[in-house]
Amino acid sequence: MCERPFPVIDGIRVTAMEKRFGKVMFVPGDNSGNYPNCNSLYVEGTVKIIIDPASNRDRLGQLCETPGVDAVLLSHWHEDHLMHLDLFDEKPLWMSAADAEPLLSLDKFLDAYNMNDEERKPWLKTMREVFHFRPRAPHRVINPGEVIDLGGVTVEVVHTPGHTPGHCAFYFREEEILFLGDYDLTSFGPWYGDTYSDIDKLLASVEKLKSMRARTWLASHGAGVFLSNPRELWDSYVSVVHQRDQKLVDLLKEPRTMADVIDARIVYKKKREPKEFFDFGERAIMGKHLQRLIKKGEVTFDGEVYRRV
């Protein structure tokens, strides 16, 4: 990789520029790599692949033309990781079987978010017009622990559930690069609002990623490139989960409906537009916290209101 100065965040050197690490190239996403985009990877082995094609449409189109793309690999099924997948309709799709079903149809996609009828109405148009959704099925299923030989570069599939059931990180052995996917170390913290997201599995996946040795860490959102061990950022990232828990417990000193919980804006801090989008995010994430606290016996629900025990 060519040397140049890098900015520093909490003592961690980071950069959001397009960078090549041997046969692995980091392609920064539009909107500073944040939703609705993500950062992509282009891996130029004998077999050339794009990982998570939702960075920059023009750049991805260029890469498809030259040096070329033989297959697309998805870390998981979310829309901000497949926005430009339609550019690669003729290319084989590789992904985890556990995350494949949402891509089979738009209804299955929105079901996987556990959206109710009212919440999904604006998404039907958005998924088609913004995210270019087209039903797809994987040509190749990737499995936990599998090592894929791309010719000159090998990538190990690291199963990291919790964010989604089939979310995978990728370790590039020759370059000692760990691609974290959506365990992105941003200040927003983790997302776990899908039908089958799981907070405890997510926390276990974070511990797995923290324990892995690497020389470079790449992530799907934000700055996206970490050139020294981001151990302090992992702590900050996980602390967001515990802060949400505590704020919810404090809120439930008085009985609260789900509408009250949404209106507290624990996840997004304040009211934002479009309201339907952010209301869904609050309900989805805080719903997982409520489920977890009920299971632990710390909260009860009588069909109308939640109460702290």
Mean pLDDT of 159-186: 98
Residue 75 sits in the same domain as residue 187: yes
Asked whether 94 and 52 are in contact (CB, 8 A), the reply is no
Q: How many domains, the chain? A: 2
Mean pLDDT of 90-100: 98
Residue 155 sits in the same domain as residue 272: no
* Within-domain flag for 182: yes
pLDDT per position as a tens digit, 16-32: 589 999 999 999 999 99
Is the pLDDT assigned to residue 213 strictly greater than 50? yes
Strands 24-27 and 40-44: antiparallel
Chain centroid to CA 65: how far? 27
* Within-domain flag for 75: yes
Mean pLDDT of the chain: 94
pLDDT per position as a tens digit, 241-266: 999 999 999 999 999 999 999 999 99
Q: What is the 3-state secondary structure (H, E, C) of 27-77?
A: ECCCHHHCCCCCCEEEEECCCEEEECCCCCHHHHHHHHHHHHCCEEECCCC
**Residue 295 belongs to what domain range?**
252-308
* Within-domain flag for 236: no
The pLDDT, as a whole number, for residue 17 is 80
Residue 197 sits in the same domain as residue 299: no
Residue 31 sits in the same domain as residue 158: yes
* Within-domain flag for 170: yes
pLDDT per position as a tens digit, 46-87: 999 999 999 999 999 999 999 999 999 999 999 999 999 999
Residue 297 sits in the same domain as residue 149: no
Domain with residue 211: its CATH number is 3.60.15.10
Of 220, 163, 241, whose CA–CA distance to 195 is shortest?
A: 163
- Compute the distance between CA of residue 287 and CA of residue 68 in angstroms, rounded to an integer: 43
Residue 108 sits in the same domain as residue 65: yes
Asked whether 78 and 182 are in contact (CB, 8 A), the reply is yes
Please report the DSSP string for 9-33 in residue order: ETTEEEE-S-EEETTEEEEPPTGGG
